[in-house]
Amino acid sequence: MHPESNELDIAKKTTLNAQQLAAVKHVTGPIMIIAGPGSGKTRVITERIAHLMNTGIKPENILALTFTNKAANEMKLRINNLTKNHAAFSIWMGTFHSIFSKILREEAHIMGYSSNFTIYDNEDSIKIIRRIIKDLNLDKDIYNPKFIFSRISFMKNNLIDCQTYSTYSDFKEQDTRNKRPMFLSVYTKYTQICKNSNCMDFDDLLMNTYRLFKNNPLILANYQEVFKYILIDEYQDTNKAQDKIVKQISMKHNNVCIVGDDSQSIYSFRGANINNMLDFKKFYKNVTEFKLEQNYRSTQNIVNAANSLIAYNKHKIDKTIFSENLEGDKIKLCEYNSGREEGNQISSMIANSIINGSKKSEHAILYRTNSQSKVIEDGLRKRGVNYRIFGGLSFYQRKEIKDVMAFLKLILNHHDEEALMRIINYPTRGIGATTINKIRLKAEENNKTIWQTMDSNAFNEIPLTKNAQNNVKFFIEMVKELFQIIDENIFKIIEIVINKTGIIRRLKDDPTPENINRLENIGELINTLKIFSMRQNNNKLIDFINEISLDETKNKNDDEDYVSLMTIHQSKGLEFPHIYIVGLENGLFPSQKNMREKKMLEEERRLFYVAITRAIKKVTLSYAVSRFQFGIMNKTNKSLFLDEINYFFIEKTQRNYQNIKDAKNLKIPKLNNRKLRRITTNTSQKYSIQGLKIGQNILHNIFGKGEIKKIDENDGNQKITVFFEKGGEKILLTKFAKIKILT
């Protein structure tokens, strides 16, 4: 199954279960829907919105926030089919960024922007920061542009602007300790450039929306009246800014419904705060809670294994995920001599499965970091297995597309400095770095944008050669001509841009394979314009630019059959029949950094939980007892998480040393964690426990003391759910479990 598939298709049953139906039909008040993996939450969301509309609530009074545009568009289509009036496209539905950018365009003048502001992507922002660091003569290694951008992003997501930052002495002390005392200067300069350029980055869309509502009570009241019913998907992934805005706009009617799973909160590095979900009941009073605990995706063994793992987390909402699917295969655990052997053997498993009739798209290999893909790629290539690595450049991140888009952005917003700097000398027109720097210095001196400086008398004061002056003036005249076509049909605009600017001509004059590919990509951009125009019945440049700026989708080929390779973070929301999770070693997964702190270790455990629950039928776990690190072969210890999965749900394969020359010399490191035990069906080892009751205290030979929480009888097989003081919740089959009744 290709990664483009999602949970929309997960619940193929015709009826909702009791909890799903209750969540759909509950209309008023704050609602919390805890949706475990594979529980059909997307269906619940869509049917709930459809129910609201069918009961007479106007679609324009419903706000539904998602984390991807793709999810929003697919839900709109489904809602449209479920409703009587087919008005789903009137719902305020989209990502936080797309909805808030729409609001900000309406209210831009209040924030000191014009409504045609453009949106910087991460690459644009980093380029600006890189120039600031250079202008301030700062060490680019200490003031790493990507790090600085990440820190600025963190501050904005926590609603800390430059002025607020300057009041925190702790921040200043931290910057001094880290040898970055000029961080605030960089942050301030970056903010000024964005404002002067009439641009916002993605984080500004959140922070500025919050400030808009905070500082303008009448505007807030207006949107509170508009958004009478609010629903937010994946609430465990929201950051502080998103949480605060939701609280602002829901304050009047209190009809806010959050959907999510705390056990799948894995994005703290992006600013996500699991406490937004855990503390929901503390802020809102009389919250109605629904738990979607039935997993329709995975086998019983997969679900039970995942449950036994996540039970070790302390900070979570209590729930018991279960499956009524087939019991299924046990999780396969493989130990390998080296990382390369791991890559080869996993590749062989997949190749053999394909030979026996499975599709490549049924297999996905998940890893903690991108660097782990190399040995797996080598193994798959060697066996002629087609694969695809996720996480590459999206279509709109490709150079030639960004070049064309920069011209389009400049037509829309003359002061977009990043767009201007990108194409001022592309294609080459004799405007070198020296000339550009002189213009920039003059612009800063007069507190003007670069465009204002070039298009004013101040330009004549800049000491440039005659050639440089003429080249700049030629560029100005060309761009001014482009300004005149802003109201034209977008087809005509792009036709004029690609021909007038010489982009197409330059690529055709140098027909290398790379340039031919770039020409094809520009052709695909033109195709996209056509589709956009037909879909939206809209030929406005500003609408196209806005949609593209907020588009998170990748360049995809749905028809191709391939094995999927991706990080676990990238797998969130996806599902595959067979999941392979590789590199399960301490220091790699969990990562070395996150092993030191309990809070981060819990997030690593949630990440592993997410990985396991992507599987429909089979899970293969693997680790190596030695692995190359920076060119040195080091011994490793298997991940501590492997010993947290109940051994009843695992089948460990024996390591094969055949053809391994150094096997006899290999020293397997001693592990402090308990070893996985093999379960036999020898009747002499069976235990019959009579008279067990819920609430009894028992002693287990491995897990220690625990309390019986649940007893299940199925065809003579008695299962008990026990919460152990040290091991968390475990499911035990009493005929195999070595337990002693204490009370």
* Catalytic residue (choose from 20, 264, 613, 636): 264
Q: How many residues does the chain have?
A: 743
> In 139-268, where do the E strands start and end?
199-201, 229-232, 256-260
Residue 200 near residue 194 (C-beta atoms within 8 A): yes
Least confident of 171-180, 207-216, 580-589, 649-658: 649-658
3-state secondary structure 561-582: CCEEEEEHHHHCCCCEEEEEEC
The Cα–Cα gap between 33 and 193 comes to: 42
Residue 309 near residue 608 (C-beta atoms within 8 A): yes
Torsion 516-517-520-526 (CA) sign: negative
pLDDT value of position 696: 87
Q: Which residues contact 487 (CB under 8 A, 6 or more apart)?
A: none
Phi, psi for residue 14 in degrees, rounded to 5: -90, -20
The Cα–Cα gap between 290 and 20 comes to: 8
* Catalytic residue (choose from 234, 243, 362, 644): 234
* Catalytic residue (choose from 41, 131, 442, 606): 41
Distances (CA, A) of 1 to 388, 560, 599: 13, 11, 34
* Catalytic residue (choose from 20, 42, 118, 236): 42
Q: Is 416 left (phi over 0), alpha (psi -120 to 50) or beta?
A: beta
pLDDT value of position 361: 94
pLDDT in tens, 97-112: 999 999 999 999 999 9
**Residue 592 in this model has a pLDDT that exceeds 90:** no
Which pLDDT band, with edges at 50, 70 and 90, does 720 fall under?
confident
Distances (CA, A) of 368 to 373, 378, 607, 627: 10, 18, 9, 15
* Catalytic residue (choose from 233, 243, 362, 729): 233
* Mean pLDDT, range 254-262, rounded to an integer: 95
**Residue 685 in this model has a pLDDT that exceeds 50:** no
Distances (CA, A) of 209 to 11, 202, 203, 730: 36, 11, 10, 45
Average pLDDT of the chain to the nearest whole number:
85
Residue 109 near residue 212 (C-beta atoms within 8 A): no
**Residue 679 in this model has a pLDDT that exceeds 70:** no
pLDDT value of position 715: 54
Catalytic residue check, 264: yes
pLDDT value of position 575: 94
The Cα–Cα gap between 541 and 527 comes to: 15
4 or 155, which is more confident: 155
pLDDT value of position 631: 56
pLDDT value of position 632: 66
Least confident of 194-203, 309-318, 553-562, 666-675: 666-675
Catalytic residue check, 14: no
pLDDT value of position 14: 56
Torsion of CA 193, 196, 197, 198, to 10 degrees: 130
Burial status of residue 455 (CB atoms within 10 A of its CB: 0-12, 13-18, 19 or more): middle
Residue 156 near residue 270 (C-beta atoms within 8 A): no
pLDDT value of position 7: 40
The Cα–Cα gap between 128 and 134 comes to: 10
pLDDT in tens, 327-358: 999 999 999 998 889 999 999 999 999 999 99
The Cα–Cα gap between 726 and 577 comes to: 33
Residue 481 is encoded by which pair of tokens?
């001509």
* Mean pLDDT, range 479-493, rounded to an integer: 83
CB neighbours of residue 53 within 10 Å: 24
pLDDT value of position 264: 95
Catalytic residue check, 614: yes
Residue 330 near residue 291 (C-beta atoms within 8 A): no
Question: What percentage of residues in the chain have a pLDDT greater than 90?
Answer: 54
Helix (H) / strand (E) element for 62: namely strand 62-66
pLDDT in tens, 491-538: 788 888 888 888 888 888 777 667 777 887 788 788 777 667 666 566
pLDDT value of position 519: 82
Catalytic residue check, 559: no
Whether omega for the bond prior to residue 427 falls within 30 degrees of 0, making it cis, is: yes
pLDDT in tens, 396-450: 777 888 899 899 999 888 889 889 999 998 888 889 889 999 998 999 898 899 9
pLDDT in tens, 595-613: 888 899 999 999 999 999 9
> In 89-201, where do the E strands start and end?
92-95, 118-120, 199-201
* Catalytic residue (choose from 189, 319, 518, 614): 614
Burial status of residue 690 (CB atoms within 10 A of its CB: 0-12, 13-18, 19 or more): exposed
* Mean pLDDT, range 275-299, rounded to an integer: 94
The Cα–Cα gap between 278 and 272 comes to: 12
pLDDT value of position 711: 85
Distances (CA, A) of 723 to 647, 705, 717, 720: 16, 9, 20, 10
